[in-house]
C-alpha cells in the first residue's frame, strides 16, 4: 500500500491572495506573496523563479490555467501575455 499524501507544513510565511494581473513589459516582476497558479491569456514562453529558488522557462504554454509556485516573472525569455496570478 502506498504512503498517504500529505501537505507541506504551514510555516506561516504564505498568506491567502486574490488575483493579480501581471504586465512584465516594463521589466521583471517579483511578487510579494508567492502565486500558486497562473492564467495565461495568450500562449507563449514564460520564464519564472519558483518558490524553491529555481529558475526555468516553460516553452510554448497554451492558453489556460497552470499550477506553479511563482515568485518572479522575467521580461527577457517570456512571450506569454494576459497573465493573471492567483
Quick check: is 9 in a domain? no
Residues 6+ apart with CB under 8 A from 34: 14, 51, 69, 70, 71
Read off the pLDDT of residues 3-58 as tens digits, 9 standing for 90 and up.
443 334 444 444 446 888 999 999 999 988 888 899 999 999 999 999 999 999 99
Quick check: is 15 in a domain? no
Quick check: is 21 in a domain? no
Quick check: is 43 in a domain? yes
Predicted pLDDT of residue 17: 63
Q: Which domain holds residue 51?
A: 26-85
Number of structural domains in the chain: 1
Quick check: is 16 in a domain? no
Quick check: is 17 in a domain? no
Quick check: is 61 in a domain? yes
Quick check: is 39 in a domain? yes
CA dist., res. 74 & res. 79, Å (int)? 10
Catalogue the E-assigned strands of 1-86. Answer: 20-22, 29-35, 38-40, 44-50, 55-61, 64-66, 70-73, 83-85
DSSP state of 25: T
Predicted pLDDT of residue 2: 41
Amino acid at each position: 500500500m502506498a504512503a498517504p499524501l500529505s501537505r507541506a507544513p504551514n510555516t506561516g510565511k504564505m498568506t491567502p491572495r486574490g488575483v493579480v494581473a501581471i504586465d512584465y513589459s516594463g521589466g521583471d516582476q517579483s511578487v510579494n506573496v508567492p502565486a500558486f497558479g497562473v492564467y495565461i491569456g495568450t500562449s507563449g514562453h514564460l520564464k519564472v523563479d519558483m518558490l524553491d529558488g529555481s529558475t526555468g522557462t516553460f516553452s510554448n504554454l497554451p492558453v489556460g490555467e497552470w499550477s506553479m509556485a511563482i515568485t518572479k516573472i522575467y521580461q527577457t525569455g517570456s512571450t506569454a501575455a494576459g497573465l493573471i496570478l492567483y
